[in-house]
Amino acid sequence: MISTCNDSHRDFILRGFSDKPYLEKVLFWVILIFYCSTLAGNMVIILVFLKEPKLQTPMYFFLSNLSILDLCFTSSCIPQMLVNLGSPKKTISYIGCATQLYIFLWLGATECILLVVMAVDRYVAVCHPLQYTAIMPPKVCLQLAVLAWVTGLVQSLIQSSATLRLPFCSHGVVDDIVCQVPSLIQLSSADTTYNEVQMSVASVILLVIPLTIILLSYGAIVKAVLRIKSTVGQNKAFGTCTSHLLVVSLFYGTVTGIYLQPKTHYVHEQGKFLTLFYTVVTPTLNPLIYTLRNKEVKGALIRLGKRAWDSKNN
């Protein structure tokens, strides 16, 4: 059978919410506000880590990596999203779509691994406090961070390349707000069994296994904390972990809703709103969760503010 599609390198159309013009206007301003908040919040986290000696610990090193990820992740898709929402023209070039897909997958996969690393760090800190500095020295922390970034890059190169080799339908209309694997697979009329299997395997490796490790880590943490006789000690231990667990819930709760659904059950409207949540809302909430629930970060912010105020007045 001759395919009705071609793979010429031309523009795609990101349909998004073009059938709801009223919703597009609202989303434009909501997303713009969230994006500005994401930039400000995550840059503050990075600045606090770099400037505050008391926060030069593994936990805040990984948190600063998460902030860098969120900055890059949102910047890889939100500017194009805003352009499409604010204009009747919804096109994105083939190169632009391919670039967005590579970066989007790279950073998304990296965050999956980084959240596991952060959970393991909390496990070591709570369950093996006396050996913590020996188990998690700066060199090991750097190696774990590099492992997360490189693993994400390798995964992106494999899955993006396989997706972009598909012949895409001549109309080139992507029924999504970003170029991502499920929606591009839907666009092709060729046999996508290999791509679906690959996506399923990648989802197990990057979503199911990491989430299982995280849950096991927190199961061990809960057992260790309950053995602490001091209520103050229990609250402190739980306080350092609940923020990360909340971030994990927000990220995995939405991403799994998109990538663990088979092609025949991929609901476009639901998928668009889930994509909006983990690309727009979650990166904005991450710095708020860590600052509002963390006394050390709040204290560091106050000290930085005082130093800035004093230097300005002297």
Assess whether pLDDT exceeds 80 at residue 140. Answer: yes
What is the pLDDT confidence band of residue 307, given thresholds at 50, 70 and 90? confident
Q: Which long-range contacts (CB under 8 A, 24 or more apart) does 88-94 make?
A: 90/13, 90/14, 90/15, 90/16, 90/18, 91/11, 91/12, 91/13, 91/14, 92/11, 92/12, 92/13, 92/14, 92/179, 93/11, 93/12, 94/9, 94/10, 94/11, 94/12
293 pLDDT band, cuts 50/70/90, is low
pLDDT tens track for 58-93: 988 998 999 999 999 999 989 988 988 888 888 888
Q: Pick the more confident residue, 262 or 89.
A: 89
292: confidence class by pLDDT, cuts 50, 70, 90: low
The pLDDT of residue 17 is 83
Q: Mean pLDDT of all residues in the chain?
A: 83
Which of 2-11, 140-149, 157-166, 249-258 is the least confident region? 2-11
What's the pLDDT band for 203 if we cut at 50, 70, 90? confident
Q: Is the pLDDT of residue 197 over 60?
A: yes
Cβ pair 70, 77 in contact under 8 A: no
**94 near 10, Cβ under 8 Å?**
yes
Give the pLDDT of residue 266.
45
The pLDDT of residue 2 is above 60 = no
Report residue 101 as tokens. 């897909």
Q: What is the mean pLDDT of residues 16-29?
A: 86
136 pLDDT higher than 90: yes
Domain annotation for the chain: domains and CATH numbers: 10-301 (1.20.1070.10)
Output 47 or 146, whichever has higher pLDDT: 146
| Range from 265-269, 286-290, 293-297 that averages highest in pLDDT | 286-290
Among the residue ranges 87-96, 196-205, 221-230, the one predicted with the least confidence is: 221-230
Q: What is the mean pLDDT of residues 201-224?
A: 88
pLDDT at site 286: 83
Q: Which long-range contacts (CB under 8 A, 24 or more apart) does 275-280 make?
A: 275/176, 275/177, 275/178, 275/180, 276/27, 276/31, 276/177, 277/250, 278/250, 278/251, 278/254, 279/73, 279/74, 279/77, 279/78, 279/81, 279/178, 280/31, 280/34, 280/35, 280/38, 280/74, 280/78
Q: What is the pTM of this model?
A: 0.85
